[in-house]
Amino acid sequence: MPRLRHCLPLLAALAAPAVAPAQGVVAGRVTVLERPGARTDDLENAVVWLEPVDAPRGGSAASAEIVMESRRFRPAVRVLPPGSEVRFANYDPYRHNVFSDAGPARFDLGLYGRGESRAAKVSAPGVYPVFCNIHARMVAYLVAVPTRWYAQAGADGGYQIADVPAGRYRLHAWHDRGGQQTREVTVAEGRLAEDVQLDARGWRLVPHKNKYGLDYPPETRDRY
C-alpha cells in the first residue's frame, strides 16, 4: 500500500489533460495616407505579419498562383513563406515574359504563350517586384515572410491573424505604395487590436527597366 500511495500523484499527472499554450488573435485595419485629393483603392495589397522576438522564425513552404489576364497580374500581391513556389499562368492571347531582378533573388521565366504556366521559387525573405519584359506597366509583388503568422488585408483594409502563441513579436506592415512599418507587440490570450497607418504621400511612379536594363519601347509604356 505505501508503494501505491507514492504512485498516485504520478498517475494523476499522467491522466490530467495537457494544457494548451495560450493563443491570441491579432486583428485591425490598415489605412494609407494619400496626397490631397487622392483616394486609396488598393488596400488589398497590404500585408501584415508577425515575427517572433524570442523564438525561432519559421513558416512552411507553400504554393500559389498568379494569373496574367488583360495585361495584368491577378492578384497583384501574394504573401507566402520563403521556399514557396509561385506559378504564373498566361490567360492572355499573347505571350508574356515574367521576371524579377530587384528583390532578394532573381528569376526569368522566359517567353511563353496562352495556356502555359511557369513557376518561380522565392528562396529568401523579402519583397520581389515582378514585371513582364513585353508589357511595361505590368507589375506584381511577392512578399516572402519568415513566419507562419501573416495575413493580406481585405478591400477595406481589415486583417486578422489567428492562433498566435502568446509572446513578443515584431509586427510588420507593408504596402507597395505605403512602404513598410515595424513595431513590437505582445500577444496574450484573447484579441489584440493593432491598426496600422502607412504613408504613400511621397510615393511616385518610377518607370522600371526591362530585364536587359533598358527602357521599354514607347509604345509599351502607355498601355497594359
pLDDT in tens, 177-210: 999 999 999 999 999 999 999 999 999 999 999 9
User: CA–CA distance from 46 to each of 75, 107, 196 (Å)?
Assistant: 12, 24, 10
Task: Give the pLDDT confidence score for residue 12 in this predicted structure.
Answer: 46
Establish if 16 belongs to a structural domain.
no
Which pTM was predicted?
Answer: 0.88
Establish if 53 belongs to a structural domain.
yes
Q: Are strands 107-112 and 96-100 parallel, antiparallel or unpaired?
A: antiparallel
DSSP 46: -
Say how far apart CA 172 and CA 91 lie, in whole Å.
33
Count the domains in the chain: 1
Establish if 111 belongs to a structural domain.
yes
Establish if 37 belongs to a structural domain.
yes
Task: Give the pLDDT confidence score for residue 11 in this predicted structure.
Answer: 45
Give me the residues of the chain with pLDDT under 50, please. Answer: 4, 8, 10-13, 16, 224
Tell me if residue 197 falls in helix, strand or coil.
strand
CATH of the domain at 113: 2.60.40.420
The domain of 122 spans 21-221
